[in-house]
Structure formats: structure tokens, C-alpha cells
Amino acid sequence: MSKVKTGMGRRSFIKNVSLAGGGLLIGFNWLACKRSAEESGSEVALEMPDEWFEINGYLKIGDNGVVTIFSPNPEIGQNVKTAMPMLVAEELDVDWNNVIVEQAPLNTDIFSRQIAGGSQSIRQSWEPLRMAGATARQMLIMAAAKEWDVPVSELSVEKGIITHAGSDRSIGYGEIAKAAAQVDVPEEVVLKENNNFKIIGTSRKNVDAKKIVTGQPLFGLDVHRDDMLIAMIVQPPAFGMQFKSMDADEVKDMPGIKDVFVINTYPDDMEREWSDTTSFPKLVAVVGDSTWQVMQAKKALKVEWDLKPELVEEIEILEKSQALRDSGGLENSEIHRTIMNEVASEKSEMIRKDGDPEKAFKNAARVIERTYSCPFLAHNCMEPMNFFANVTDEKAELLGPIQTPEFAEKSISKRFGMDLENIDIQMTRMGGGFGRRLYGNFLVEAAVISHKVGAPVKLVYSREDDMTNGVYRPAYQVTYKAALDVNNNLTAFHVNAGGVGESPLFANRFPAGAIDNYLAESWITDSQISIGAFRAPRSNFIAGAEQSFLDELAEEMGQDPIQFRLDMLKRAGNNPVGENNDYDPARYAGVLELVRDKAGWESSNASSGKGVAAYYCHDSYVAQVLEMDLKDNEPVINKVTCAVDCGIVVNPDAAINMVEGGTIDGIGHALYSELTFEDGVTQQSNFDSYRLIRHREAPKKIDVHFVENGIDPTGLGEPPFPPVQGALANALYKATGKRIYRQPFFPEIGTESKEIKT
């Protein structure tokens, strides 16, 4: 068993002890307490009794033994609202059927990293939440031992019942909770060994499942107040343009319309948070009684827009190419491709260099070179952006779907000069995020509109607003080169990667560390278009490109694709090159070996529509084998086998769902999705023109296998998304005989492959 201290340095994990409501309140610096309860999702709804006892800042225990556990992080579909309380309940030794789960509010004084992003919720809460449960359990046992005048060592707990074997006495948590108020907080507690887990590692239903399937209000769009107005925005039609003037007189007279005005979400003198990402801070707001009335007014509104005056100067950063001058300074996708090629060859920055790659390439018998690219992507959450706001000069009440509530709170504070204690942000469940709701401009817009009209409002984006006023996955490009000697041995590896606004390069990831001569270069082109995190940022492109290149390289060298990777990983493990390699070669190899076995790679004809890929990101390792056929020139994906090393799996069914969802999502975006620009305008504004994967196009079967290694949990929400794109590309080659180097793949399937061979 491992012992952990309940006090850590100057800032204790347990900060204070005080009596509250006749019970015990322990303030954890991670956790919070509130009094409202909700259904647990079990068949019989649980309710907290009138008399309840605060066992610590995270737990409530009633005199009937019902336990309420707060889930601190935003719930975005990754199931943390179920998994995080499971960690507490495990160490508390409570019957899960007697557990109620609530969404905790934003509380930056008590919580740390109250964010949904980076696949870090379980990883970072693994020990703190278990410590919370173990501390409460120990205090309950100590209270029982004192009441019975027996040693603590003689007591045991099973499903919330404390038992003394020597006297055959037992007592429930609810009965002893009040007495625990008199017990000192222990200086250290013992956490369970992995083999003693009873809740962790078992499948538990989503605590919101019943509410979701019965249509109960959980999401931001469900928020309703009787005195609430509806607001929508009118944004510039193109990136690089701004508001000039409008004629709103007729619109203001339309039925149900309260006001039409210009807002400046982020004044020039406001210090922005990183989450305040938007290209359109100056917008027109339309406010009225109903969504329909506001939408009609928005369509009728006449607004004039101008090119941003500073755009000409900003174009200088892009070298003022002839194409840009001809377009009047507004960007389009063809220009992006031209500029990316220019910058890649002229302005690359060396990020890592091992050995002497220049010499190795000069002396190579053969050089294999391939260039891969991908377009911008829109997040396209099923629930468009929305937020409720009720903001006065004195305080701000906000409610809605946001991945970064603590940063949004700071943004509101800076925007209105308001103290943090006067800002209340409550979180709803989110109908998708994928990184879009990391950026809270829509929350600030709602707050500014509410303050302006002096009334509570719900801001609602239309699908077109969402897709054309986005924070997008950037367009990327990467070129790989490999040097082979006369014996067909790999002697050097070169990666040159960049993109519009951001580079996808991870210089210290595989195959860095496995090759003597290695060079990694990076570059970026500037843009008016707002870009940001998309599921598995940067990895979502470069993983597929890298794994496609490794497959082609293995073929050129006459090697099996999986064995080729394993041989390189063996080198990286036994005799690594460099000191900054950020992956574990043994764990990397482990998922490849597992997927090779589970997919029957060696016993089947690997040349027929079957592709493999493996990747490390967010502290986890995923390998996938995709099997497909081509029917009427369309891909039919029969099966994807997934091997995942994410450490201990807290909730297996939910974890399988995450892997299946990430796999389908990766396939869909690689095959179909694309956002293009012409004169700064997105050419796709709704699902009639922006292609997403359809039900019939999803894999017929997805097999998921987890590595059981007892390692503390790592990321899971994002790691399955990147590698499957490489597995898909490699399978497409086996099925069609053509390599595809540009996403989306589907338009390229029926065309001739454009290979670059040196």
C-alpha cells in the first residue's frame, strides 16, 4: 500500500477544518462543496435527507448513507463526470449504488485545472481524488473506533458499512458522519493497491445517461429563464474585414426585436487570455424575444463591411506575393498552399539535429521524399456555441457549455473590471467540443450583450455562424525525406513541417531517437484566420503523415511495416540517439505487438486492404490495424483493431466508447472533411457542403484491447484519433495501389496519385 501525505508543503492539500451544518467540513484545495443533488442514474432515484453532514470539501454524506460526490471538470462527453467520482468512491469504500454525482461549479480557490482539454482530467486527478476518498474513509473509521473504544486496526469497511469483527458490531457511514466532526484530520492516509480495487476497473453507467436519453435539460441550449432575451450575432462575411456601418431602423421595428447594436468584445486596451481567440471582436448584436424573430431580423439587417486598414501591413509578413496583391489581401486556399511551399523551403528553423544528416543524404544511394498536406477543419460541435449571461455593473452570472471556465472568469473580470468573487460561472453538459469550446469568445460576447441591454440573455449561434466564425484546425504541410545506403539501410531522416499559424512538428517524438542522423525543421505562415486546438492538436495531422511515410519507407526497404517499426523502437530502447526523446520505446512497441496479435496480421494477407499505424500522444500509446475493401470506388471499412496503452482503465465500457468514437472521428475527418477559403470567405457553411462521416460509412466492427500494466492512468480522449488516419491511408494504398498524400482522402481515391520520388 502507498501512503500519501494529506498536507503538502506550504499549501496543504487539506487547508482547514470547520463545523458546518452540524457536520464536518474539510476544505481541500482541489475540491468544493455545494448542496443541490441530482439523480445518480440508477433505477431508484436517491435524495439527500434534510440532515446532512459535510465529510470534506468534496463529499456529502447523509444520515441514510447516501453520498454525493462532485465532479469538478467540465463534462464534454468524455465521461469524467462518472469516472472522477469513481476515484473518490473507490477509496471511500462506498456502495456505488448509494452515490449521487453532481457537476461542481467553477471555484478557482479550491480546484486546480478545472478544464476539459488535453486528455488530462483523470491523469491529473488520479491521486488527489483518491486521497480525498481515503481521508474521508479514515476519519469515519476513526470516529467509529472512538465511539466503540476499539483500535482502528480492528475495523474494516465494506460498501459504506464499518465493522468490528471482534464484537460483531457495525455502523453505516451516515450514522457516524456527525461524530466524525470531532476527529482530527489524519496527517497521512493509505491508498489501495491496484489489486484491491472494487470500483476502479469496473464498468459503470454514465451518471447522466437517463437524462440524456429522456431529453431532460442538461445542455446550454436547454437553459431557459422567464425574463430571458435571445441574442444572435452578425459577423464580417470574410476574414480580413471589419464593421463599417449599418441601417437598422427597419429591423428594430420588426416583431419581437428589442435592439440592434454594435459590440466590441475585446477593446484594444483589454489584456486577453489565451482563450480569447477570435478574428471578429467587433460584431453586430440582434436581441429579441425569440430565436425565430431574431433570426428573421438578422437576415433582414443591412450591414456594410470594410477591409481591415492594417491588413496591408500584415500582408508584408506573407511576403506580399503577387497572388495576395491580386486577391485584395483576402486569403484563399490556393494562396495558402503556395505560401506554405515558399516558406517551407526558405524560412525553416532547425529544431533538432542528431549526427550529420547533411552528409548522410549527400552520400545516400537513394533518397525517398514525400510531402503531405491537410486543409483547415471546422470543429462542428453538434450543439452550436451558446451561453446564458446576466451581467450588471456589480456582478456577472453566466451559465453554459465551456471547456475553460477558469480562463473565461478572468476574461470577464478584465472586460468589466469586476472582482472574481462577483463572477459566477456555472457549467452545463456540452454537446461536443473537440477544442472549440476552449475558446470562450462566445461567452464574453453574451456577457457584453447582456450588460448593454440590461437584461439576461441567451446568445445562440446558428450552424452557419459556428462554421464561418470558427477557431479552426490549421492547414498543415510536412515533407519527409529518408536516406538509404547501397544495402538499403536507413541512414538519415529529415522532417520539415509547418502550417498556417502553427507548426504540427513534434521534434522529439518517434522516430527521433531511433536514427543516427536526424533533422527536424519547423516553419509557420501568418494569417487573418483564427486557428486553435482541434482534437489531439497537431498530432491530428502529423501522426497520419508520419505513419504513411514509415509504411512507404518500409515497402521501399522490403520490410514488413510492423516489424520495421519494432526494429526502430528496439534501437531507441537499447541505444537511443539524443537525450530528449519524449516516448517510452517499450510501451510503444507493446501496442504494436498487441495489435499485430489481435488483428491476426502475420496469419493474414497483409497486402489486401489492411493498414497499420501507431502513435504516442497525451502520454498514451495507440496502435490500429484497419481492414477495408473498395466498392464502387468507395471505401468500405470492415474492421479496425485497436491496441491502447493508457495505464489503468477506470471505467472499461466508457473507455471503449472513447476509443471507438475517436477512431470513427479520425476516419471521417481524414476521408471527407475540408474547409476552404476564397477571398477570405469559407466555402462551406453548413453540412450540405461540409462533409462528415455518415453512419453507413463507419467501420462495421471496432475491436478494442487495453494493455494491462498497472501504470497510473494517462490520456484517452484524444490518442485514438491521430493514428487511425495513417492506418486508413496505408490500407487505401493496399486496396487501390495508390498512395494518397493530401487530405481529405476521398476526392483523391478516384484520381491518379501524385507521388514525388527522388
- List pLDDT tens digits, range 76-94: 888 888 998 899 899 999 9
Instruction: Please check the confidence at residue 498 and state whether its pLDDT lies above 50.
Output: yes
**Where is average pLDDT lowest: 6-15, 95-104, 213-222, 600-609?**
6-15
Nearest Cα neighbor of 479 from 354, 340, 582, 581 is 340
Instruction: Check whether residue 366 and residue 444 sit in a common domain.
Output: no
For the ranges 22-36, 73-87, 737-751, the maximum mean pLDDT occurs at: 737-751
Cβ atoms of 395 and 424 closer than 8 Å: yes
| Averaged pLDDT for residues 706-720 | 95
Q: Which of 181, 213, 245 is the last residue of a domain?
A: 213
131 & 80 share domain: yes
Q: How far apart are CA 331 and CA 323, in angstroms?
A: 9
Contacts of 516 (CB under 8 A, 6+ apart): 354, 355, 360, 491, 492, 577
CA 59, CA 165: separation in Å to the nearest integer?
27
> pLDDT band at 320, cuts 50/70/90?
very low
At residue 71, the pLDDT reads: 74
Read off the pLDDT of each residue in 349-357 and give the average, rounded to a whole number.
98
Q: Is the per-residue pLDDT at 109 higher than 90?
A: no
CATH of residue 45: 3.30.365.10
pLDDT exceeds cutoff 60 at 607: no
> Do 347 and 447 sit in the same domain of this protein?
no
Q: Same domain for 120 and 230?
A: no
Instruction: Read off the pLDDT of residues 369-408 as tens digits, 9 standing for 90 and up.
Output: 999 999 999 999 999 999 999 999 999 999 999 999 989 9
Give CA torsion, residues 434, 440, 446, 452, to 10 deg.
-160
Quick check: 461 pLDDT over 60? yes
Residue-number span of the structural domain to which 442 is assigned: 220-306+385-460
Q: Among 9-23, 293-307, 655-669, which is the least confidently predicted range?
A: 9-23
Within a domain: 324:
no
Query: What is the helix (H) or strand (E) element at residue 680, kind and residue range?
Result: none
Whether 481 and 518 share a structural domain: yes
Question: Residue 117 — very low, low, confident or very high, per pLDDT cuts 50/70/90?
Answer: confident
pLDDT at 28 over 60: no
Confidence band (pLDDT; 50, 70, 90) for 605? low
The pLDDT score that the predictor gives to residue 310 is 67
Report if residue 116 sits inside a domain: yes
Given this model, what pLDDT does residue 13 score? 41
- What pLDDT is recorded for position 657? 96
Is residue 362 domain-shared with residue 446, that is, in the same domain? no
d(CA 523, CA 428): 39
Please check the confidence at residue 6 and state whether its pLDDT lies above 80. Answer: no
Strand partners, 8: none
Residue 280 within a domain: yes
Determine the pLDDT at residue 8.
38
Number of structural domains in the chain:
3
Label residue 167 by pLDDT band (50, 70, 90): very high
Q: Is the pLDDT of residue 324 over 70?
A: no
Q: What is the mean pLDDT of the chain?
A: 88
- 690: confidence class by pLDDT, cuts 50, 70, 90: very high
pLDDT, mean of residues 276-293:
96
Do 661 and 690 share a structural domain? Answer: yes
Condensed to tens digits (0 to 9), the pLDDT of residues 658-674 reads 999 999 999 999 999 99
Q: What is the percentage of the chain residues whose pLDDT exceeds 90?
A: 73
Identify the three-state secondary structure at position 80.
helix
Q: Is residue 326 part of a domain?
A: no
* Domain assignment present for 204: yes
